[in-house]
Structures are given as C-alpha cells and as structure tokens.
Amino acid sequence: MPKICRYYIKAGMLYFVLAFAVGLIMALHPFVPLIPNAAALRPVFFHMVMIGWISQLIIGVAIWMFPKYTRDMPRGNDRLSWAVFVTLNVGLALRVVFEPLAAFNPGGDFGLLLTVSAALQLAAGWMFVLNTWGRVKER
C-alpha cells in the first residue's frame, strides 16, 4: 500500500476516534454537563465523521485501488495527492477549532476562518477529482 494511502486511512481512523469522543460528550451532556452548550459540537461531530473519517478512508482506498493512470505515474500526480491530504486536513482542523468558538462567542470574528476552512475543503475535493478523473476509464 502506498505511503499516501496509509496516511489517509490513519488520519481517517484518528478522526473516527475523535468524532466518537465528541459524540460521547454530546450524548452524556444531559446527565453530566462536561461543557456548556454541547449541542454546538454537532457540526464538528458531523464534519469529523463525514470528512475526517469517511471521506479520507474513501480517498485513501481510491488512490490505492483505482486503475493505474500510466506506468510512470500509476496513482496520478503524487504531489497533488499530498496537497489534497494537507489541504483537506488543514481545512478540517480549522473547522474543528473555530466552529465551536463561533457558536460559543456569537459576536466573534470567526466567520472568515470558517470560510477559509470551507474553501480549503472544497479545493481538496476538486484537486482529488482532478487527480483521479483520468484513472476512471474503460478496460
């Protein structure tokens, strides 16, 4: 398995564990209020599950298992795959940090950072499609 695929899959598993912890905090909130307004963590939970765990797992396996692009570049542009990994994870990390801060401090200026987060995640998605599109072909 290529190194980039292992990084995607391990990052996905890490986000799965983190999402489980956030979900546990939200589920226990009615009984043990660990943090005020735990419902504000719901968007973070969904982003960690859908982008952090599921999407990274899918991207890692797709890079590994899709048909070869060419003999010289079997997985397409490896630098672009790494750029997708970094961009996706930086965008997701920004979301995980600033989404709750924006919910807990409504008057704060966190909107710009959330916009940057969304733009990074969107860019990562398009870069993945750009790098993978040529690998989807008929036999």
pLDDT tens by residue, 10-42: 999 999 999 999 999 888 888 877 777 777 889
Residue 139 lies in a domain: no
In a domain, 92, yes or no: yes
Say if 42 falls within a structural domain: yes
**Confidence category of residue 95, pLDDT binned at 50, 70, 90:** very high
The per-residue pLDDT for 5 is 94
In a domain, 16, yes or no: yes
Higher local confidence (pLDDT), 138 or 63: 63
* CA–CA gap between residue 136 and residue 139 (Å, rounded): 10
CA distance from start to end of the chain? 23
Pick the residue with more confidence: 79 or 37? 79
Round the CA-based radius of gyration of the chain to a whole number and report it.
17
Segment 106-124 shows an average pLDDT of: 89
Per the domain annotation, does 138 fall within a domain?
no
Q: Which structural domain range is residue 64 located in?
A: 3-133
Q: Name 103's Cβ contacts closer than 8 Å, sequence gap at least 6.
A: 37, 40
Average pLDDT over residues 73-99: 92
For the chain, what is the domain count? 1
Would residue 15 count as lying in a domain? yes
Split at pLDDT 50, 70, 90, the class of 139 is low
